[in-house]
Amino acid sequence: MHLRLALCACSWAGLAHAKSGFSGQQQVPILGDPPSGAFANSASLPTVIPTIHDTSAPDPQKECPGYKAWSVATNEHGFTASLAIAGEPCNVFGNDIADLTLHVSHQTASRLSVKILPTYIGPENTTWFELGDQFVAQPRWDGSTTTETSHLQFEWSNEPSFQFSVSRRQDGEVLFSTFGHKIVYEDQFHELITNMVDDYNIYGLAEIVRPFRFGTNFNATLFNVDNADATDSNSYGSHPFYQETRYSKDQNSSAHGVYARNVHAQEWLMREKTLTYRAIGGSIDFYFFSGQPNDIQDAPSTALESIRQYQRSIGFPAMQAYWAHGFHQCHWGWSKVQDLRDVVANYRRANVPLEAIWTDLDVYYKARPLTNDEERFSSAAMHEFVADLNKDGQHYVPLVDSNVYMPDKDDPDDVYLPFTRGDKLGAFIRDGSTGDYFVGKAWPGKSVWADWLVPSTHDWFANELRIMHEATPFSGIWIDVNEPSNFDNVLVDHTLYSQDSRDSRKLDFPSYRINNFRSTHQIIDGTIALNAMHNDEHATREYDVHNLWSVGITKAAYNGLATTVHPGKRPFIISRSTGIGIGQYAGHWGGDNESKWGALYLSISQALIFQMAGVPMFGTDTCGFGGPDSFEELCARWTQVNAFFPFFRNHYGVMRAAQEAYVWPAVAEAARRVIAIRYSLLTYMYTLFYHAHTRGDTVLRALAWEFPNDERLRATDNQFMLGSALLITPVLNEGSTSAKGVLPGISENTRWYDWYTLQEVKSGKSGENITMEAPLEHINVHVRGGSILTLQKPGYTTRETREGLYSIVVALDDRQKADGDLYLDDGESIEQDATKMVQLKYSSNKLTVGIRGMYHATPALATITIAGLKRRPKNVTLDIRGSQHALRENIFQNETLRITDLAQYFGDGGWEHEFFVQLS
C-alpha cells in the first residue's frame, strides 16, 4: 500500500516531457547544498527543477574536454588503456576525474564488457565507483573467448577525443557508438552518448509504467522511490538494461542488448538521433549482448536471446513453489480473523478457486511490522485459521513492512522486541553526521531501517521471521515500502538532513538533479537520507547503494526462509521494490495501481518489461488497488488478463468497496472459467518457469519477440503470449463485447487454433487486426500450431490439480509437426531428490514421448487430442513397455482427433514409461 504524498504524475502519452520546465508554482532551483539552517523548522522541501528541464543548466558536451587514450596493453580477450583528461576540467556537476583506466574484455562469444574506472581508487572512495559482486553479480571472462571468436568488435579513436563503437562481427552492424560525443566522468556525474538509427525500437529500463516500446523523445529515470503507479516516471524499481530491435527492408530483424552495471540514480535520455546515459555516481561499466547464441557464430540475433544473455549475467530467476501459481486474495482493511474466514468461505461457496489469502498491515499491533494485534488477530486464532487453510491445501501470506519501529526511549512501557534485538547487533543504518541511527517515519511512527550490507543483519532478520512464523505460521511473505519509503518527506523533527564533512560529495542535494517524479523532484523526497551511513568496513553511503536496498531485504528474507523458517523449501516472496538481480530471490507486484481501464492496459507492458529484467514472477493487483472503486465489468476483464500472468492476486485498499471475485455474478463466472484454464495449464506454466530458472527464458512474451521479422508488431502491447504456445487477446476497453488483435505469423504459414474448440482460425491476413467475439465472461486464447501442451484436470487448489488426470493437446503446424516438453518435480524443494523431463514430438503421423529422470507423478494420462489433422486415421496404435494396443476409443471431427480411455494403460502414472502413438 502507499501513502499518497503530494505526487506529480503525467500522462503516459509523454506530454509532460515535451517541454523544458514546469508551469504552476514557482520553482526554486538548488544547485548544491542549501545554506546551513536555510530550511530549519520547515515542514517540507523546496521544489527544484530537474536538470533536464533547467534551461540554464550547463551542457557537458560543450563544457567538458573529453579524454585521450594512451598506454594500450592488449591480451587475448581484449585490452586495457589509460585515459587522460584532454583539457581543463569542466566540473559541471561534480569533480572531473583526470586519470581513468579502460578495460575492454570479450567475456563470452556474445558478451563484451567495457569498463571505465578512476585510475586511483582507495579506501576512502571505493564505494563511490566500485560495485562489489556481493551486491550485483560481476560478469567475468569465460576463459576461452578471444577477440577473434567473439561475435562483437570494439573499435576506438582518439580524434578529436576518445570515442568507441561496438559492432557485430557477422555483418559489421554498429550497435553502440559514442563517435562524435565526449565521455564525461566526474565523481558525481557520468555522461555517455550513443548514436541511434532512425525511428529506433528500444524496450526495458524497468520500472516505468508506460507503453511497451519507448519513443524517440522520452526521459527515463531510474531511482527507486515510493511513487505509486504514476505513468512515465521512475517508480519502485531500477533495472538498467535495454534491448534494441532493428528491422531491415528484406523483412528480417536483428537484436542486441545493453546493460549498465550501475545502481546509482541515473537517466536515459532518448532523442531522435541519440541515446544519452547519465548517472550521478558509480562507474561506466557496460555490457553488450550480441543476441546470438554463444556457440553459433553466424546465427541470427534475437530479442529473446539477448534477454537470456542479460539474465545469465545477473543471475537466473528463482524457481517458484508450485502453489505460488494459484489465485491469491488480499485486502487492506480486514479487521479480525473472522473476516478472513468469511472470505475463504465465500470463495468456496461461490466455487471460485482460492489458493492463498493474504493480510496487509491490519494484523500488526499499532502498525508495527512482524507483530500480531492480539486483540483482533491473536496468535491462537491465527494458528487455528492457518491450520484449517493448510488442511484444505490453501496458504496464508502476511505482509512484512520493511521499516522497524523505534520505541520511545523515555517510555519504559514502549517495547518493540525486533528493534531491541536488532539494536544489540547494531543492525540499523546510521545518520551520516552523528553516527546515531538514522530515524525517519513510517506507518508505526518513528522508524529505523536495516543495514543489509553486514551479515549480522541478515541473521537478525532470519530470526525475526522465525519468531513471526512461530506466532502465525505462513507459507510466504510479501515485502512492502522497501524502496525504502520514508513518510516524513525527508525532514525529521523539522531538522534538515546534515552533510558529513568526511565525504566531500553532495549526497542529499547533488548538483545534477535527476528527474525524480516526487512532488519536489528532490532526490531525497520520500526516502531515507542518501547521506545515511552503513556499518560495513567502508562506511558505505546510502547514496551509493540506494537502488539495491530492496535486493538486500529480499535476499535476507530468501535465505532466512530457506534455512530457518522452511528449511530446504523454496521461499515465496513478492517484493514491491526491485533492483538488479532480485529475481533470484523474489517476484514483484506492480504496486499501487488504480481501478481504471488505462491501468489494466498498461499492466501488459509492465509484465513484459519485468520478464526482461529477470523477474518473471510478476503480476498487478487484479481489479485495481486504489482510486475509484472497481466495478463488475472492469474486474471481470482484469481477472481474465491476470489469470495468464505468472503472479495472480486480487488486492484492494482500505475504505474501498469489496472486489473479491465472488462479489459480482459476472466476475465470479469469468473467474471460474479462466482459473479453470489457468489451473489446467499449471504444468505448462511450471515448465516455463523451469526454463526461466535454468536458461533465462521469459514466461510471458511480446508478440515482437516470438515473431521478430514482422515490424508491425514492434509496439504491440494489447496482446501477449504465455510461452511460445499461447496467444492471449483480452478486452481492454469499457463496454466492449469483442476484442481486436492480430494472429501473427500468418504470412509465414503459422496456424492458430481456438483454445475452446481447437478449431483452426483461418480468417485474417498477416498483420491485420481481426475482431474476436468476447462476451463478458470470455477471453480469447489461441494455441499456436506446432505446439504440444500437457494439461491436467483442474481442481479447487493447486494441490488438487496436481492430482488430476493428465491430457495432451497437439496443435499441428502447416508441416503436420509439433513439439513440447514438461518438467516435473515435487514443487517445493530447493534441492530435488528426483526430477523428470518429458519431451513430446509429433512428426510423420507419430506422437513420441521421451522421458529423462526418476520423479514419479501419480496421475494417469487420460486423453490425447490432435488438432489440424488433414485426414482421419484408419488406425491408432499405442506402443508402451514393449506392447502395442489398438486405440479404438477415438473421435475425429473437424480435423481434430480425440483419443480417450487411455488411463487403463497408464495406471502407474502418465510419465513413467516412454511411449508413442502411431496414426495410420
Residue 714 confidence (pLDDT) above 60: yes
Query: In this predicted model, what pLDDT tens digit does every residue of 100-154 receive, in sequence order?
Result: 999 999 999 999 999 999 999 999 899 999 999 999 999 999 999 999 999 999 9
Total Cβ atoms within 10 A of residue 905:
18
Cβ atoms of 529 and 438 closer than 8 Å: yes
Q: Please tell me the distance from the alpha carbon of residue 376 to that of residue 372, in angstroms, as a whole number.
A: 8
Closest CA to 509 of 57, 89, 94: 94
What percent of the chain clears pLDDT 90, i.e. is strictly above it? 89
Which range is least confidently modeled, 287-301, 367-381, 466-480, 727-741?
287-301
Q: Which residue type occupies 151?
A: H
Q: If you search the block for the grid coordinates 577477440, which residue do you land on? A: 147
pLDDT at 900: 97
The average pLDDT across 454-475 equals 98
What percent of the chain clears pLDDT 70, i.e. is strictly above it? 94
The average pLDDT across 353-358 equals 99
Tell which CATH architecture fits domain 322-686.
Alpha-Beta Barrel (3.20)
pLDDT at 502: 59
The average pLDDT across 739-751 equals 94
Q: Considering 592, 633, 717, 828, which one is annotated as catalytic?
A: 592
- Cβ burial, residue 32 (10 Å; 0-12/13-18/19+): exposed
CA trace torsion 306, 307, 313, 318 (10° rounding) = -160
Residues contacting 505, CB < 8 A, separation 6+: 94, 128, 187, 188, 543
Which range is least confidently modeled, 36-40, 193-197, 878-882, 885-889?
36-40
**SS3 assignment for 143-157:** CCCCCCCCCEEEEEE
Q: Give the HSE-up count for residue 766: Cα atoms under 13 Å, Cβ half-sphere.
A: 11
Q: Considering 191, 355, 480, 828, which one is annotated as catalytic?
A: 480
Q: Please tell me the distance from the alpha carbon of residue 349 to that of residue 505, in angstroms, as a whole number.
A: 61
For strands 274-279 and 99-108, give the pairing.
Answer: unpaired
Q: Considering 186, 464, 483, 717, which one is annotated as catalytic?
A: 483
Find the helix or strand (DSSP H, E) in which 67 lies: strand 67-75
pLDDT at 9: 30
DSSP at 212: S
Q: Please tell me the distance from the alpha carbon of residue 822 to that of residue 161, in angstroms, as a whole number.
A: 55
pLDDT at 24: 27
For the chain, state the CA radius of gyration.
28
Query: In this predicted model, what pLDDT tens digit does every residue of 628-667 receive, in sequence order?
Result: 999 999 999 999 999 999 999 999 999 999 999 999 999 9
C-alpha cell at 170: 557477422
Q: If you search the block for the grid coordinates 540499523, which residue do you land on? A: 428
Closest CA to 472 of 398, 366, 539: 398
Q: 489 falls in which pLDDT band (50, 70, 90)?
A: low
Q: Please tell me the distance from the alpha carbon of residue 224 to that of residue 238, in angstroms, as a whole number.
A: 6
pLDDT at 501: 47
Q: 32 falls in which pLDDT band (50, 70, 90)?
A: very low
Q: Any catalytic annotation for residue 592?
A: yes
pLDDT at 405: 98
Q: Please tell me the distance from the alpha carbon of residue 249 to that of residue 261, in angstroms, as a whole number.
A: 34
Cα distances (angstroms) measured from residue 546 to each of 530, 609, 898: 7, 21, 57
Cβ atoms of 103 and 113 closer than 8 Å: yes
Question: What SS3 state is found at 446?
Answer: strand
Report field, pTM of the whole predicted structure over 0.75: yes
The average pLDDT across 704-710 equals 97
For strands 621-622 and 648-652, give the pairing.
Answer: parallel
Phi, psi of 9 (to 5 degrees): -125, 155
Which range is least confidently modeled, 499-513, 697-711, 801-815?
499-513
pLDDT at 29: 26
Residue-by-residue DSSP string for 637-651: HHHHHHTTSSSEEEE
C-alpha cell at 682: 499449471
Q: Which residue type occupies 325?
A: H
Find the helix or strand (DSSP H, E) in which 346 lies: helix 337-350
For strands 573-575 and 587-589, give the pairing.
Answer: parallel
Residue 3 confidence (pLDDT) above 80: no
Q: Please tell me the distance from the alpha carbon of residue 880 to that of residue 388, in angstroms, as a whole number.
A: 42
Q: Where are the domains of the chain?
A: 65-205+240-314, 322-686, 687-782, 787-919
Query: In this predicted model, what pLDDT tens digit does every residue of 87-109 receive, in sequence order?
Result: 999 999 999 999 999 999 999 99
- Maximum alpha-carbon separation in the chain: 91
Q: Any catalytic annotation for residue 483?
A: yes
Closest CA to 683 of 794, 757, 779: 794
| 787-919: CATH topology | Immunoglobulin-like (2.60.40)
Q: 782 falls in which pLDDT band (50, 70, 90)?
A: very high
Q: Any catalytic annotation for residue 480?
A: yes
Phi, psi of 477 (to 5 degrees): -140, 160
pLDDT at 38: 28
Q: 46 falls in which pLDDT band (50, 70, 90)?
A: confident
pLDDT at 44: 66
Residue 885 confidence (pLDDT) above 60: yes
Cβ atoms of 77 and 146 closer than 8 Å: yes
Q: Please tell me the distance from the alpha carbon of residue 14 to that of residue 709, in angstroms, as a whole number.
A: 28
Contacts 24+ apart (CB under 8 A), 900-905: 900/862, 900/863, 901/862, 902/860, 902/861, 902/862, 902/863, 902/864, 902/878, 903/805, 903/860, 903/861, 903/862, 905/861, 905/878, 905/880
Residue 457 confidence (pLDDT) above 70: yes
Closest CA to 89 of 192, 182, 179, 194: 182
Query: In this predicted model, what pLDDT tens digit does every residue of 212-238 receive, in sequence order?
Result: 999 999 999 999 999 887 899 999 999
* CATH topology identical between 322-686 and 687-782: no
pLDDT at 816: 98
Total Cβ atoms within 10 A of residue 285:
23
Tell which CATH architecture fits domain 687-782.
Sandwich (2.60)
Angle between helices 337-350 and 379-391 (to 10 degrees): 20
The average pLDDT across 741-746 equals 95
Is the four-CA dihedral 31, 32, 38, 40 of positive or negative sign? positive
Find the helix or strand (DSSP H, E) in which 420 lies: helix 417-425
Query: In this predicted model, what pLDDT tens digit does every residue of 378-429 receive, in sequence order?
Result: 999 999 999 999 999 999 999 999 999 999 999 999 999 999 999 999 999 9
CATH for the 65-205+240-314 domain, from 2.60.450.10, 3.30.230.70, 2.60.40.420, 2.60.40.1760: 2.60.40.1760
- Cβ burial, residue 292 (10 Å; 0-12/13-18/19+): buried
Q: Which residue type occupies 838?
A: V
Cβ atoms of 852 and 845 closer than 8 Å: no
C-alpha cell at 832: 530435488
Please state, rounded to an integer, the average pLDDT across all residues of the chain.
93
